[in-house]
Amino acid sequence: EREREREARCPGGGVGRKMVKTVVIVMAMKAEAQPFIDHLDLQKDADRFHKGLRAECYSGTYKDETKVHLVLNGQCHKYGVDIVGTVGGAVTTFAAVQALSPDLVINAGTCGGFRAMGGEVGSIYLCTSFLNHDRRIAIPGFDAFGVGELNTFDLNPELLVQVGAQSGVVSTGNSLNMTKEDEGYIKKHKATCKDMEGAAVAYMCDQLSVPMFALKSVTDIVDGEHPTPEEFLKNLGTAAKSLQQALPKVLSFIAEKPFQA
């Protein structure tokens, strides 16, 4: 029953295809999101979520027909920084799907790229394959759950061309750096993007049967010569601008015709 429901709602599934009228864009950091918020003149919607939740919602329309809700994890009530990582990503995604009933969820944000996989600072990836590289549970059955490989659907090559993006694989973990164990999982699964939220957003959307993909912009080269924190901070603004340029192209593609991934 659950699989039939997923097929009915999943773009590219060949069943129940329809125009995408409502899109939720899930992002972690305000600095990543601000250029896009400004570009579409999205307005803060303060009453969308439970009053105790730190998540923020910015709403508007694209070409007067597609409702766009950009949701952020918000700032931590205790430490005063952006809530990054899988917990914030999953909680915000659940709250947004419940409150906004989107036809499509896009996890947009920055990521680390890999020179060995052809990645460069500024590269744009569209991703529908996800896994976790830091959930190591050496118990039969739980080991596969820990890695949590998930494929949402197959991307339409036309979308890749319109956005000027490459197809990629997201590997998610809760640390900015990469251990040797992390590296082993990432290489084994040929990941192109290392982030801190993607697999959590994908897992929640999978549970709720909402189509989802990720749009990632590379800020740092994980297997390069520069320290990751230094390179990330240096290129965050450039990557955020790349997202601001890419997201309207995605919205334009899905607004013009029934979306087939």
Catalytic residues: 32, 220
Residue labelled with tokens 């890999």: 114
Could you report how far apart the first and last alpha carbons of the chain are, in Å?
A: 22
